[in-house]
Amino acid sequence: MARTNEIDEGFYSRQLYVLGHEAMHRMGRAEVLIAGMKGLGVEIAKNVILSGVKSVTVQDEGQAEWSDLSSQFFLKEADLGQNRATGSLPQLSALNPHVLVSAHTGPLNEDLLQKYQVVVLTDSSLDDQKRFGDFCHTRGIKFIVTDTKGLCGQLFCDFGEGFEVLDQDGEMPASLMIDRITKDNPGVVICADDQKHGLFDGSKVIFSEVQGMTELNSIGPVEIKVCGQHSFSICDTSSFSEYERGGVVTEVKQPLVLDFKPLSEAVNDHQLLIMNDYGKIARHNTLHLAFQALHGFVKKEQRLPQSWSQSDADLLLNMVKELNLVAKLEEVDEAALRSFCFTARGDLAPMNAFFGGLAAQEVIKACSGKFTPLQQWLYFDALECLPEDGGCLKESLFSPKGSRYDAQIVVFGSEFQQKLLRQKYFLVGAGAIGCELLKNFALIGLGAGDEGHITVTDMDFIERSNLNRQFLFRSKDIGKPKSEVAAKAVAEMNPQIKITAHQNRLDPDSEGLYDYSFFMGLDGVAAALDNVEARVYLDKRCVQHQKPMLEGGTLGSKGHTLVVVPHLTESYGPAKSSSGNAIPLCTLKNFPHRIEHTLQWARDQFEGLFKQTPENVNLFL
């Protein structure tokens, strides 16, 4: 199956909407190596296998340990002492029948790397990153490095020189109605004033259906220069016929060619750090040096820093100051650096899920040429999770306990772990985001204690198209309730989890079941819903019962998350109208000139005929 050129549209249907057939065909020819099968490596492997490349090889020389179970969801207690790559192989292979998955238990070397188009390193030394990075750069192999240490993580991409991006953003090309075109040098195109053109200097466009100045209809793509939100200049139109009326201007997507530096050079170039939080510029510059210093620390001491050890933090701080003699940062964030050192032994499932998603997205970009890749460093931290009086905590609380949560206890302590185990949570939705949340809940131990519990509800049944992204489901589960299958799958990941599955829709009809006493028994609610109405309703119930709600959603390659804490943050609802893009009624009735207008006109007609009239009759009756 993996060798045919046909795309399985039933399996990949949702992904095809985002990537398109061409990009999927290119991915179907790509062979990927992922090194390191701890929590971060298995996240990347899971995502890349589901995305539909030709083959994935997972490499790891190490044996599974207790600390791996805090984030490695395809290893069980029975796998302790076994090789991580071979232990994960059966579960990874079952994710996608179209992808050939194999394990390599030997060391990494150049002979192995040259067989692949994309190489991803996790949990690797800086020496290996530089050595293999230089090798991949000269051979034209796409090279990605990612790592998480406690509450901090990094991601690096090198796609070589002359890497062609075929579609920079995946958006539909802009299509605009023309109001008028001047006969000038250069000619100026003025678009209909109800729509901003959204084009940039250098964008290219083609014309069609122009009346009068028909010469524009037959010339190829024209480069534009933006004059205003509704106008732009084009070529010399002074010798063309006089513009009369009509016409459509359509954007022509242009490929973008990018040059990347190898890691050995890029490591010293702070201009390549992509900022994702402008309140943390100093922190992320510091983290760039901190990760380098940590590699030096491990090389010298043959271990990671001890949890919450002041002496190790002092040593790492001195190493960063030494590196800064060359880097010359104006400000080193010492507090963040100490927190990074205190928690570097941590291996946290949510951090691995975040960086695993980002790294897998970069693999998709490398294979498909779709979307603009990262150039070239990205840092993210969640140090806000630590208590503000972190320095006063006892070191004994953070020592390993010989449990599956050890890599989490070294960051947050055993008391916090006990609190997680006691949590009672309600998850609404067991689709793509619901599966990911349940996996993370099981790994962190949410509701896995004697007093803890998770209730999950989803009224849907598993379809074949779900298997491409709802990773807890397999072909044998098609037709079964999502919530039941998902609950059973995460109970295999962590047998201690207490979970109950329901198949109820969350709406006013289910308030008899999800009543005051149900909500008052909860510590929090997580929403993994696919429509605004259900989110607004759930948000209202959470505010009513003073319960926090964690909410997230995706649309193609975009996503959002929202934390709602009653009386502290803004709540989700009530439903907000998107008035910014509302169509004026006069346009709709008298001059519908865009495809959206005709659709909205038809929708209004339909509602008038088949919804409003019967509703009025029912009200009268």
Q: Which residues are catalytic?
A: 586
Give the count of beta carbons closer than 10 Å to the beta carbon of residue 461: 16
Q: What gap in Å lies between CA 166 and CA 453, rounded to an integer?
A: 48
Q: Which residues contact 220 (CB under 8 A, 6 or more apart)?
A: 206
Q: Which residues contact 54 (CB under 8 A, 6 or more apart)?
A: 2, 27, 28, 29, 30, 31, 99, 100
Write the Ramachandran bin of 366: left for phi over 0, alpha for psi from -120 to 50, otherwise beta. Answer: alpha
Report the first-to-last Cα separation within the chain, whole angstroms.
60
Q: What gap in Å lies between CA 473 and CA 462, rounded to an integer?
A: 8
How would you label 374-387 residue by residue, b for 16+ Cβ within 10 Å and e otherwise?
bbbbbbbbebebbe
Q: What gap in Å lies between CA 148 and CA 600, rounded to an integer?
A: 48
At residue 298, what is the residue type? V
Structure-token pair, residue 258: 């990018």
- Find the angle CA(103)-CA(38)-CA(525) to the nearest 5 degrees: 125
Residue in the block written with tokens 């994309």: 118
Please state, in angstroms and as integers, the Cα–Cα distance from residue 532 to each residue in 189, 200, 535, 577, 582, following that order.
Answer: 38, 33, 5, 11, 18
Output DSSP code: residue 83: B
Q: What is the CA radius of gyration of the chain?
A: 27
At residue 321, what is the residue type? K
At residue 207, what is the residue type? F
